[in-house]
A = this chain, B = another copy of it.
Amino acid sequence: MRPSGRAPDEMRVITIEPNFTRHAEGSVLIGFGDTKVLVTASIEEKVPPFLRGKGEGWVTAEYGMLPRATHTRGSREAAKGKQSGRTQEIQRLIGRSLRAITDLKALGERQIVIDCDVIQADGGTRTASISGAWVALRMAVDKLMADGKLTADPIRQKVAAISCGIYNGTPVLDLDYPEDSNAEADANFVLTGDGKLAEVQATAEGATFDEEELLRLLRLARIGCSQIFAAQDKATGR
């Protein structure tokens, strides 16, 4: 029995509120149950040094957690003067996931910076971030196309992410915090709209796992992502 009473293959309620803030070219508040992440996409007409003059664009991401997004207050990374290893790992994952479905040449020599700030945390903040980031990116690219700055669409696929894990011996979908902190193994899958994989990260926490379990987690992830894709479609009116 899951703490939340959900079935093993049952997602939490997915909410996607576009245009949550007004300045960013793309902005969305995404919720996976009580996990709430504010994601913005900012267009910058410049690229990082290593890409200058190559006629190619870049998509990158930064991630942060508000100090009291969690049950007990964590320290503010800006005050500590450094981002934790966990933060850096997550923001690198978000960036890679979006670049996996973006044609950087078609984007032209500009950069889209995704900011994922966790307002409230209850497990799955990185997967909610990726899933919301796709919507924000979509909105920013739509704006570039509407403004005539792009003619071809550089976004090749949808992308979404979900966590799964083995909890009390049972593979379950979309771990919330009580599950996440007690799972024997957990995995994050980043899937694309055509059923391909962009990223798999599976980790033994208390017990190692076998190939069959990995595949069962992947099957759950496919169920979850299909629901996220639907929510993304609805949010972007497609």
Q: How far is the CA of A64 from the CA of B76 in the complex (A)?
A: 9
Residue from B85, B117, B200 in contact with A89 in the complex, judged by beta carbons closer than 8 Å = B85
Query: Closest B-chain residue to A136, C-beta based?
Result: B68
The number of chain A residues touching the other chain, given as a range, is 35 or more
Asked if A163 is at the interface of the complex by the 8 Å CB criterion, the answer is: no
A interface majority secondary structure? mixed
Q: Which of chain B's residues have a CB closer than 8 A to the CB of A151?
A: none
* Cross-chain contact B23 with A66 (CB below 8 angstroms): no
Q: Which of chain B's residues have a CB closer than 8 A to the CB of A115?
A: 66-68, 73, 76
Q: Which of chain B's residues have a CB closer than 8 A to the CB of A89?
A: 85, 88-89, 92
A55-71 contacts to B (CB < 8 Å): 62, 64, 66-71
Residue from B71, B82, B204, B210 in contact with A199 in the complex, judged by beta carbons closer than 8 Å = B204
* Cross-chain contact A210 with B195 (CB below 8 angstroms): yes
25 chain-A/chain-B pairs, Cβ below 8 angstroms:
A22-B120, A24-B68, A24-B73, A27-B68, A40-B67, A66-B115, A67-B113, A67-B115, A81-B81, A85-B88, A85-B92, A89-B89, A96-B203, A117-B117, A187-B200, A192-B208, A194-B208, A195-B210, A198-B208, A199-B202, A200-B200, A200-B201, A200-B202, A211-B215, A211-B218
Q: How far is the CA of A215 from the CA of B200 in the complex (A)?
A: 12
* Cross-chain contact B199 with A42 (CB below 8 angstroms): no
Asked if A225 is at the interface of the complex by the 8 Å CB criterion, the answer is: no
Q: How far is the CA of A129 from the CA of B187 in the complex (A)?
A: 23
Residue from B101, B194, B204 in contact with A197 in the complex, judged by beta carbons closer than 8 Å = B204
* Cross-chain contact B92 with A68 (CB below 8 angstroms): no
Q: How far is the CA of A72 from the CA of B200 in the complex (A)?
A: 31
Residue from B24, B36, B66, B199 in contact with A117 in the complex, judged by beta carbons closer than 8 Å = B66
Q: Which of chain B's residues have a CB closer than 8 A to the CB of A215?
A: 211
Q: Which of chain B's residues have a CB closer than 8 A to the CB of A34?
A: 22
